[in-house]
């Protein structure tokens, strides 16, 4: 941390007798000026600065020795001296760095058992202080204990994903023929019974077609009888075919008129469709006008992320919490893990079908919430870190050779 550092010595008062002088770099022969300045700082118990050469001016770097007394050691005094080549304006910064490291240097010197440079180990703090008194050591120890406890403490691994309720059976009410909407008696959200008419199509045009084909049938029948009276078998056969064709058209029109009233095929709730604001609008054959689902038969659809779908299997249990019923946990069982996936803005999700094991009267198709699927027992450390570890493992496989 000290700029321009050339050499350093750590000199206890008894260094001349027991050879405990420490030096940096290891094995270097310190200059006599460095040793004498360290001894002077230890004896006078104050910071001593010695300039080895005259300053060339303009705040140019100059060789100097800065010595600091180590006054709080147990049983003896010591001096630390460093030889540096710095600008005179940087002298105060070097002295500040030495003062910051004073406690650490004294700790190393007090626990040095063998000659040579101070040990890099950090034993107990002097003056009776506990090793655990250092905040960083205490924090690291606490973190290690927390990780150790989390590694051996079991927990339940759950997969949490968005979910929604669907009707187990959904019946579509479609337009039976091309026409126009004449009336609407129900809309989405209303409960209907099987056979209830929920809308009607206009049949005025069908009535006109029915009258026209009825008149054509009467005319073809009259011509047929006239050909029979004239014994014209060929013409009689033609008129008989035309009569049958007109009758077929009348039967078709009668079926369309009978189906003009759109009815529900089961007891349930209308989950989509509102024709009350579309009276007179045209429809074509096959247009889906309503969807009806039963009120007592539902299935749960869970959208599981691709990173977790491999953990989900048929028969696993879970709990559903809906936004409409946040206080009610509804149990369910996974029924099927479908290979069908959906691409969303936040990634790929797979469709998992589940069956609710309890009946809740307040349920309605389309309700959304979150489902938790219980996978099995894992350690708490694995539960909270496995996603990060998987990400790092994938990154390493991608970039490492």
Cβ count near 351 (within 10 Å): 16
Residue 64: band (very low, low, confident or very high) from pLDDT cuts 50, 70, 90: confident
> What CATH number labels 5-120?
3.30.450
Number of residues written out for the chain: 401
**Residue 162 β-bridge partners:** 370
pLDDT tens-digit map of 239-262: 899 999 999 999 999 998 988 898
CB 376 within 8 A of CB 313: no
pLDDT tens-digit map of 287-344: 898 888 887 788 899 999 999 999 999 999 999 999 988 888 999 999 999 888 888 7
pLDDT of residue 17: 44
Q: Give pTM, 2 decimals.
A: 0.50
> What CATH number labels 160-165+297-399?
2.40.30.170
Report how far apart the first and last C-alpha atoms of the chain are (Å, whole number). Answer: 36
pLDDT of residue 108: 64
Contacting residues for 29 by C-beta, under 8 A, at least 6 apart: none
What is the rounded average pLDDT of the residues 360-387? Answer: 89
pLDDT tens-digit map of 66-88: 888 876 544 567 888 888 888 87
Token readout for 233 is 């078998």
CB 205 within 8 A of CB 282: no
pLDDT tens-digit map of 257-290: 988 898 888 888 888 888 888 888 899 988 898 8
CATH 3.30.450 domain span(s) along the chain: 5-120
pLDDT tens-digit map of 153-167: 888 999 999 999 888
Token readout for 178 is 């091309």
CB 375 within 8 A of CB 157: yes
**Residue 331 β-bridge partners:** 319
In the block, tokens 């050469």 appear at 53
Contacting residues for 247 by C-beta, under 8 A, at least 6 apart: 217
CATH 2.40.30.170 domain span(s) along the chain: 160-165+297-399
Least confident of 95-104, 108-117, 198-207, 368-377: 108-117
Alpha carbon distance 132, 137 (integer Å): 6
């Amino acid at each position: 941390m000290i700029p321009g550092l050339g050499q350093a010595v750590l000199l206890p008062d008894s260094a001349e007798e027991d050879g405990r002088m420490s030096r940096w770099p290891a094995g270097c022969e310190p200059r006599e000026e460095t040793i004498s300045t360290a001894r002077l700082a230890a004896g006078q118990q104050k910071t001593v600065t010695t300039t080895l050469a005259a300053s060339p001016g303009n705040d140019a770097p100059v060789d100097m020795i800065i010595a600091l007394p180590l006054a709080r050691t147990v049983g003896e005094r010591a001096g630390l001296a460093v030889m540096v080549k710095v600008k005179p304006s940087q002298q105060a910064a070097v002295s500040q760095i030495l003062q910051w490291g004073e406690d650490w240097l004294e700790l190393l010197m007090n626990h040095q058992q063998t000659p040579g440079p101070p040990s890099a180990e950090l034993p107990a703090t002097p003056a009776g202080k506990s090793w655990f008194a250092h905040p960083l050591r205490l924090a690291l120890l606490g973190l290690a204990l927390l990780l150790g406890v989390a590694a051996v403490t079991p927990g339940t691994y759950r997969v949490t994903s968005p979910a929604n309720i669907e009707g187990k059976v959904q019946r579509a009410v479609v337009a039976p023929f091309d026409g126009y909407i004449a009336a609407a008696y129900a809309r989405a959200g209303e409960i209907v019974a099987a056979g209830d008419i929920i809308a009607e199509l206009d049949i005025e045009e069908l009535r006109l077609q029915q009258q026209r084909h009825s008149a054509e049938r009467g005319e073809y029948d009259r011509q047929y009888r006239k050909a029979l009276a004239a014994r014209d078998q060929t013409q009689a056969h033609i008129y008989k075919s035309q009569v049958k064709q007109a009758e077929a058209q009348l039967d078709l029109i009668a079926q369309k008129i009978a189906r003009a009233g759109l009815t529900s095929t089961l007891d349930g709730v209308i989950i989509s469709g509102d024709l009350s604001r579309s009276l007179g609008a045209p429809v074509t054959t096959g247009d889906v006008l309503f969807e009806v689902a039963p009120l007592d038969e539902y299935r749960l659809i869970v959208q599981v992320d691709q990173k977790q779908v491999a953990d989900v299997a048929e028969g696993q249990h879970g709990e559903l919490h809906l936004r409409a019923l946040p206080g009610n946990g509804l149990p369910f069982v996974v029924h099927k893990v479908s290979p069908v996936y959906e691409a969303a803005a936040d990634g790929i999700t797979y469709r998992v079908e589940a069956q609710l094991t309890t009946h809740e009267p307040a349920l309605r198709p389309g309700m959304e919430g979150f489902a938790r699927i219980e996978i099995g027992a894992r350690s708490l450390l694995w539960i909270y870190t496995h996603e990060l570890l998987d990400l790092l493992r994938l990154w390493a496989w991608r970039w490492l050779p």
